[in-house]
Amino acid sequence: MNQVKRDSVYFLADFHLGVPNKKASLEREKKIVRFLESIKDDAKQIYLLGDIFDLWFEYKYVVPKGYVRLLGKLAELTDNGVKIDFFCGNHDFWQKDYFEKELNIKIHKESSKIIVLDGKRFMIGHGDGLDKSDFKYKFIDFMFKNWASIKFISLCPTNWFMSVGNSWSKKSRKSHKAIDLIDLKEKEPIYVYCKKVLEKEDIDYFVFGHRHIVCDITLNNKARYINVGDWVNDCCYAKWNNEELIVKRFEKE
């Protein structure tokens, strides 16, 4: 058997599997699987930066239906030694231990984390809840993510919560659309956050999702803010090849 040399690190986000309907979601899922197949001999690490599912609420004994092609491919990758980390987004925050136990994928619930690759410092995460002074967001965040709410939801009938949850999730995406049209930079919350972090921290690359906008913005003489966009429209990803971080588009390169 040929020895494969895996040395690239990939970042991707916002697949939003499950919407807008089964057909479109399945098509997207197959495309993502083709992408994962294309990098399987090259990737040493994959960071999934959240909102992979449009709604994921995991119960003690039950997980949402569907997505078996993606789950199977992720299992194949980790079985073959590719490391995968999953940063929960605002749509798929309610993970328990299914991904860790079944797929050997590490789950992160923190809003961001600093990782070091080849001496470069990356701050990565989904991209929501970064600004701790945003009280409106913090309140909503608290309502849905605290232990008691999660326990309460898990005791509600599954069918009831999943249908309420799905319609909430659709609304949340619609509200996204309106703000996605704003100018980047000073009006872009993640950009503002990155600038603030740079006042205190030494970071080379900020990599986030959540905004459904692909961007690669220079922040100072070395730091960049990269948003990998979504797979509903953009199908982009960022690749670290040990020297540089490149943003690429799958099947349109």
Among residues 29, 51, 85, 230, the one that binds Mn ion under rule CB under 5 A: 51
State which amino acid sits at residue 169. S
Burial level of 250, CB count in 10 A (0-12/13-18/19+)? middle
Q: To the nearest whole angstrom, how small is the minimum distance from the Cβ of residue 237 to Mn ion? A: 16
Q: Which of residues 134-193 bind Mn ion (CB under 5 A)?
A: none
* Site membership for Mn ion, residue 125 (CB under 5 A): no
Nearer Cβ to Mn ion (67/87): 87
Q: To the nearest whole angstrom, how small is the minimum distance from the Cβ of residue 2 to Mn ion? A: 39
Q: To the nearest whole angstrom, how small is the minimum distance from the Cβ of residue 47 to Mn ion? A: 15
* Residue 13 contacts residue 228 (beta carbons within 8 Å): yes
Among residues 16, 28, 210, 224, the one that binds Mn ion under rule CB under 5 A: 210
Nearer Cβ to Mn ion (82/231): 231
Write each residue from 3 to 42 as x if it is in contact with Mn ion (CB under 5 A), else as -, in one continuous string: ----------------------------------------
* Site membership for Mn ion, residue 54 (CB under 5 A): no
| Closest-approach residue to Mn ion (CB) | 210
**What is the torsion angle, in degrees rounded to the nearest 10, for the CA atoms of residue 225, residue 228, residue 7 and residue 84?**
110
Which stretch in 57-65, 81-89, 151-159, 238-246 sits in contact with Mn ion by CB under 5 A? 81-89
211-to-141, 163, 236 alpha-carbon distances in Å: 17, 25, 13
* Site membership for Mn ion, residue 89 (CB under 5 A): yes
State which amino acid sits at residue 44. K
Q: Which residues bind Mn ion (CB under 5 A)?
A: 51, 89-90, 210
